[in-house]
Amino acid sequence: MIVFENVTKKFGSSTTALDDISVEIKQGEFVFLVGSSGAGKSTLLRILTKEVSPSSGKVLVNHKDIIKIKTSEVPHLRRNVGMVFQDFKLLDDLTVFENVALTLEVLGKTSEEITKEVERTLKLVEIWDRRNLFPRQLSGGEAQRTAIARAIVGKPEVLLADEPTGDLDPQTAWGVIQLLNEINSWGTTVLMATHNAEIVNTLKRRVIVLKKGKITKDTKEGKYDI
Protein backbone atom coordinates (compact mmCIF):
# COMPACT_ATOMS: atom_id res chain seq x y z
CA MET A 1 0.00 0.00 0.00
CA ILE A 2 1.13 3.53 -0.80
CA VAL A 3 0.01 6.52 1.24
CA PHE A 4 0.79 10.19 0.62
CA GLU A 5 -0.25 12.40 3.51
CA ASN A 6 -0.17 16.16 2.92
CA VAL A 7 2.91 15.92 0.75
CA THR A 8 4.41 19.13 -0.57
CA LYS A 9 7.53 19.39 -2.69
CA LYS A 10 9.10 22.71 -3.44
CA PHE A 11 12.10 23.23 -5.68
CA GLY A 12 13.74 26.44 -4.55
CA SER A 13 11.43 29.22 -3.47
CA SER A 14 9.38 29.63 -6.64
CA THR A 15 8.37 26.10 -7.77
CA THR A 16 5.81 24.02 -5.93
CA ALA A 17 5.91 20.70 -7.82
CA LEU A 18 3.48 19.00 -5.40
CA ASP A 19 1.08 20.98 -3.27
CA ASP A 20 -0.40 19.22 -0.24
CA ILE A 21 -1.09 15.86 -1.90
CA SER A 22 -2.99 13.18 0.01
CA VAL A 23 -3.80 9.89 -1.68
CA GLU A 24 -3.93 6.19 -0.95
CA ILE A 25 -3.18 3.40 -3.41
CA LYS A 26 -3.96 -0.16 -2.37
CA GLN A 27 -1.80 -3.17 -3.10
CA GLY A 28 -2.64 -4.57 -6.54
CA GLU A 29 -4.19 -1.43 -8.03
CA PHE A 30 -3.37 -0.16 -11.53
CA VAL A 31 -3.33 3.63 -11.51
CA PHE A 32 -2.72 6.15 -14.27
CA LEU A 33 -1.24 9.47 -13.29
CA VAL A 34 -2.08 12.14 -15.84
CA GLY A 35 -1.79 15.90 -16.17
CA SER A 36 -0.08 18.50 -18.32
CA SER A 37 3.64 18.92 -18.54
CA GLY A 38 4.99 20.23 -15.23
CA ALA A 39 1.96 19.07 -13.22
CA GLY A 40 4.16 17.04 -10.85
CA LYS A 41 3.77 13.45 -12.11
CA SER A 42 7.47 12.56 -12.25
CA THR A 43 8.09 14.27 -8.92
CA LEU A 44 5.41 12.12 -7.28
CA LEU A 45 6.97 8.94 -8.70
CA ARG A 46 10.50 9.99 -7.79
CA ILE A 47 9.47 10.52 -4.18
CA LEU A 48 8.51 6.83 -4.04
CA THR A 49 12.02 5.76 -5.08
CA LYS A 50 13.62 8.29 -2.75
CA GLU A 51 15.25 10.16 -5.62
CA VAL A 52 13.41 13.24 -4.39
CA SER A 53 12.56 14.05 -0.78
CA PRO A 54 9.37 15.94 -0.01
CA SER A 55 9.58 19.35 1.66
CA SER A 56 6.84 18.26 4.06
CA GLY A 57 4.34 15.48 4.62
CA LYS A 58 4.43 11.76 5.08
CA VAL A 59 4.91 8.94 2.54
CA LEU A 60 4.25 5.34 3.50
CA VAL A 61 5.07 2.26 1.43
CA ASN A 62 3.70 -0.85 3.09
CA HIS A 63 3.27 1.00 6.38
CA LYS A 64 6.88 2.12 6.37
CA ASP A 65 7.66 5.83 6.41
CA ILE A 66 10.11 6.03 3.52
CA ILE A 67 11.17 9.56 4.38
CA LYS A 68 12.66 8.27 7.59
CA ILE A 69 14.46 5.18 6.28
CA LYS A 70 18.25 5.08 6.37
CA THR A 71 20.43 5.39 3.26
CA SER A 72 21.49 1.78 3.83
CA GLU A 73 17.85 0.70 3.39
CA VAL A 74 17.38 2.47 0.04
CA PRO A 75 18.50 -0.53 -2.11
CA HIS A 76 15.81 -2.64 -0.42
CA LEU A 77 13.21 0.06 -1.01
CA ARG A 78 14.21 0.13 -4.68
CA ARG A 79 13.89 -3.63 -4.94
CA ASN A 80 10.38 -3.29 -3.60
CA VAL A 81 9.56 -0.28 -5.77
CA GLY A 82 10.75 -0.85 -9.35
CA MET A 83 10.81 2.03 -11.82
CA VAL A 84 10.84 2.27 -15.61
CA PHE A 85 11.41 5.43 -17.63
CA GLN A 86 10.58 6.82 -21.06
CA ASP A 87 14.26 6.72 -22.09
CA PHE A 88 14.88 3.26 -20.54
CA LYS A 89 18.05 4.33 -18.64
CA LEU A 90 19.88 1.10 -19.41
CA LEU A 91 23.64 0.96 -18.92
CA ASP A 92 25.21 1.06 -22.40
CA ASP A 93 28.28 -1.01 -21.60
CA LEU A 94 26.34 -3.88 -20.07
CA THR A 95 24.39 -6.54 -21.97
CA VAL A 96 20.66 -7.09 -21.52
CA PHE A 97 21.43 -9.93 -19.11
CA GLU A 98 23.94 -7.85 -17.12
CA ASN A 99 21.62 -4.84 -16.91
CA VAL A 100 18.95 -6.99 -15.32
CA ALA A 101 21.42 -8.93 -13.14
CA LEU A 102 22.70 -5.69 -11.64
CA THR A 103 19.48 -5.17 -9.66
CA LEU A 104 20.09 -8.45 -7.84
CA GLU A 105 23.87 -8.00 -7.52
CA VAL A 106 23.43 -4.83 -5.47
CA LEU A 107 21.19 -6.84 -3.16
CA GLY A 108 23.97 -9.35 -2.57
CA LYS A 109 22.29 -12.40 -4.13
CA THR A 110 24.39 -15.47 -4.99
CA SER A 111 25.36 -15.94 -8.64
CA GLU A 112 23.17 -19.08 -8.87
CA GLU A 113 20.14 -17.13 -7.68
CA ILE A 114 20.96 -14.26 -10.03
CA THR A 115 21.30 -16.52 -13.08
CA LYS A 116 18.04 -18.29 -12.30
CA GLU A 117 16.00 -15.14 -11.61
CA VAL A 118 17.38 -13.18 -14.58
CA GLU A 119 16.63 -16.10 -16.91
CA ARG A 120 13.08 -16.39 -15.55
CA THR A 121 12.46 -12.67 -15.97
CA LEU A 122 13.97 -12.31 -19.44
CA LYS A 123 11.82 -15.22 -20.62
CA LEU A 124 8.79 -13.61 -19.04
CA VAL A 125 9.25 -10.35 -20.95
CA GLU A 126 10.23 -12.34 -24.05
CA ILE A 127 13.73 -11.06 -24.62
CA TRP A 128 15.72 -14.12 -23.53
CA ASP A 129 17.05 -14.47 -27.08
CA ARG A 130 18.40 -10.89 -26.86
CA ARG A 131 20.24 -11.46 -23.58
CA ASN A 132 23.78 -11.01 -24.95
CA LEU A 133 23.08 -7.84 -26.91
CA PHE A 134 23.95 -4.33 -25.75
CA PRO A 135 21.27 -1.63 -25.40
CA ARG A 136 22.30 0.14 -28.63
CA GLN A 137 21.53 -3.09 -30.53
CA LEU A 138 17.94 -3.24 -29.27
CA SER A 139 14.72 -1.87 -30.73
CA GLY A 140 12.79 0.59 -28.54
CA GLY A 141 10.32 -2.10 -27.50
CA GLU A 142 13.11 -4.53 -26.62
CA ALA A 143 14.91 -1.84 -24.63
CA GLN A 144 11.72 -1.05 -22.69
CA ARG A 145 11.11 -4.74 -21.98
CA THR A 146 14.69 -4.98 -20.70
CA ALA A 147 14.04 -2.00 -18.45
CA ILE A 148 10.83 -3.63 -17.19
CA ALA A 149 12.73 -6.87 -16.56
CA ARG A 150 15.28 -4.90 -14.55
CA ALA A 151 12.51 -3.27 -12.54
CA ILE A 152 10.64 -6.52 -11.76
CA VAL A 153 13.48 -9.04 -11.34
CA GLY A 154 13.55 -8.40 -7.59
CA LYS A 155 9.79 -9.13 -7.42
CA PRO A 156 8.75 -5.64 -6.30
CA GLU A 157 5.35 -5.02 -4.80
CA VAL A 158 5.14 -1.73 -6.67
CA LEU A 159 6.08 -0.93 -10.26
CA LEU A 160 6.33 2.73 -11.23
CA ALA A 161 6.42 3.72 -14.88
CA ASP A 162 7.17 7.26 -16.03
CA GLU A 163 5.85 7.64 -19.60
CA PRO A 164 7.08 4.14 -20.50
CA THR A 165 5.49 4.30 -23.96
CA GLY A 166 6.51 7.89 -24.73
CA ASP A 167 9.15 6.96 -27.30
CA LEU A 168 7.48 3.88 -28.78
CA ASP A 169 5.35 3.39 -31.87
CA PRO A 170 1.67 2.63 -31.09
CA GLN A 171 1.92 -1.13 -31.62
CA THR A 172 5.04 -1.49 -29.49
CA ALA A 173 3.46 0.76 -26.86
CA TRP A 174 0.50 -1.63 -26.62
CA GLY A 175 2.90 -4.55 -26.13
CA VAL A 176 4.46 -2.72 -23.18
CA ILE A 177 1.01 -1.94 -21.73
CA GLN A 178 -0.02 -5.58 -22.04
CA LEU A 179 3.09 -6.54 -20.14
CA LEU A 180 2.37 -4.01 -17.37
CA ASN A 181 -1.21 -5.29 -17.23
CA GLU A 182 0.03 -8.86 -16.87
CA ILE A 183 2.47 -7.88 -14.11
CA ASN A 184 -0.42 -6.11 -12.36
CA SER A 185 -2.63 -9.20 -12.67
CA TRP A 186 -0.15 -11.10 -10.45
CA GLY A 187 -0.72 -8.60 -7.66
CA THR A 188 1.93 -5.94 -8.32
CA THR A 189 0.71 -2.38 -7.85
CA VAL A 190 1.32 -0.39 -11.06
CA LEU A 191 1.48 3.39 -11.06
CA MET A 192 2.04 4.85 -14.51
CA ALA A 193 2.45 8.48 -15.55
CA THR A 194 1.37 9.03 -19.13
CA HIS A 195 0.21 11.50 -21.77
CA ASN A 196 -1.30 8.70 -23.86
CA ALA A 197 -5.06 9.31 -23.87
CA GLU A 198 -5.83 6.24 -25.99
CA ILE A 199 -4.17 3.87 -23.53
CA VAL A 200 -5.88 5.47 -20.52
CA ASN A 201 -9.31 5.46 -22.19
CA THR A 202 -9.00 1.87 -23.34
CA LEU A 203 -7.84 0.36 -20.04
CA LYS A 204 -10.49 2.07 -17.86
CA ARG A 205 -8.44 1.95 -14.69
CA ARG A 206 -8.18 4.38 -11.82
CA VAL A 207 -7.05 7.78 -13.09
CA ILE A 208 -5.50 10.44 -10.86
CA VAL A 209 -5.29 13.88 -12.45
CA LEU A 210 -2.63 16.33 -11.29
CA LYS A 211 -2.84 20.02 -12.05
CA LYS A 212 -0.15 22.42 -10.88
CA GLY A 213 0.87 20.03 -8.13
CA LYS A 214 -2.64 19.31 -6.83
CA ILE A 215 -4.90 16.29 -7.34
CA THR A 216 -7.95 17.63 -9.15
CA LYS A 217 -9.63 14.30 -10.01
CA ASP A 218 -9.37 10.73 -8.81
CA THR A 219 -11.74 8.41 -10.69
CA LYS A 220 -12.12 4.65 -10.34
CA GLU A 221 -12.71 3.74 -13.98
CA GLY A 222 -11.45 6.98 -15.33
CA LYS A 223 -10.77 8.64 -18.63
CA TYR A 224 -7.99 10.84 -19.91
CA ASP A 225 -9.51 14.15 -18.90
CA ILE A 226 -6.90 16.67 -17.76
Ligand X SMILES: Nc1ncnc2c1ncn2[C@@H]1O[C@H](COP(=O)(O)OP(=O)(O)OP(=O)(O)O)[C@@H](O)[C@H]1O
Question: Contact with ligand X (CB under 6 A): which of 1, 5, 19, 38?
Answer: 38
**Cβ(77)–Cβ(83) below 8 Å:** no
Task: Tell me how far, at minimum, the Cβ of 162 lies from ligand X, in Å.
Answer: 7
Q: Which of 68, 90, 87 has the alpha carbon at shortest distance from 77?
A: 68
Task: Tell me how far, at minimum, the Cβ of 40 lies from Mg ion, in Å.
Answer: 8
Q: Left if phi > 0, otherwise alpha if psi is -120 to 50, otherwise beta: which for 28?
A: left
**Cβ(81)–Cβ(68) below 8 Å:** no
Task: Tell me how far, at minimum, the Cβ of 173 lies from ligand X, in Å.
Answer: 16
Say whether residue 99 binds Mg ion (CB under 5 A): no
Task: Tell me how far, at minimum, the Cβ of 44 lies from Mg ion, in Å.
Answer: 9
Say whether residue 42 binds Mg ion (CB under 5 A): yes
User: Which residues from 41-70 bind ligand X, rule CB under 6 A?
Assistant: 41-43
Report CA torsion sign: 139, 102, 74, 59: positive
Size of the site for ligand X (CB under 6 A): 11
Q: Which residues bind Mg ion (CB under 5 A)?
A: 41-42
